[in-house]
Amino acid sequence: MSDQQSLHAGVNIGRTDPEAHEEAGPVMFGFWVFLMSDLVLFALLLATYSAMSLHGIAGGPTPKDVTDLKSAGIETALLLASSFTFGMASLAQKYRDDRAPMVAWMVATALLGIAFLGFEARDFVKLAEEGHMPQRSGFLSAHFTLLGCHGLHVSAGLVWMAVLFVQMRVPGLERLVRLRIMRLALFWHMLDVVWIAILTFVFLYGAA
Q: Which of 11, 16, 38, 62 binds another protein (CB under 8 A)?
A: 38
114 binds another protein (CB under 8 A): no
In the chain, the amino acid numbered 15 is: R
What is the nearest approach in angstroms of another protein to the Cβ of residue 93? Answer: 18
Listed residue (163, 55, 75, 156) closest to 115, CA to CA: 75
26 binds another protein (CB under 8 A): yes
Stretch that binds another protein, among 9-17, 88-96, 103-111, 135-143 (CB under 8 A): 135-143
| Per-residue buried b or exposed e for 136-161, using 16+ beta carbons within 10 Å of the residue's own CB | bbbbbbbbbebbeebbebbeebbebb
C-alpha pair distances (Å), 48 with each of 7, 108, 201: 41, 34, 12
Task: Tell me how far apart the alpha carbons of residues 173 and 25 are, in angstroms, rounded to a whole number.
Answer: 18
Cα angle value 91/94/99 (rounded, 5°): 90
**Residues between 177 and 196 that touch another protein (CB under 8 A):** 180
Nearer to another protein, 21 or 180 (CB): 180
125 binds another protein (CB under 8 A): no
124 binds another protein (CB under 8 A): no
Nearer to another protein, 34 or 201 (CB): 34
Nearer to another protein, 179 or 199 (CB): 179
Q: Which of 6, 167, 189, 197 binds another protein (CB under 8 A)?
A: 167
Number of Cα atoms under 13 Å in the Cβ half of residue 89:
27
Listed residue (4, 159, 75, 200) closest to 12, CA to CA: 4
Q: Which of 44, 69, 193, 204 binds another protein (CB under 8 A)?
A: 44
The residues binding another protein (CB under 8 A) are 25-27, 29-30, 33-34, 36-38, 40-41, 44-45, 48, 51-52, 55-58, 60, 134-139, 141-142, 145, 163, 167, 170, 172-173, 175-176, 180
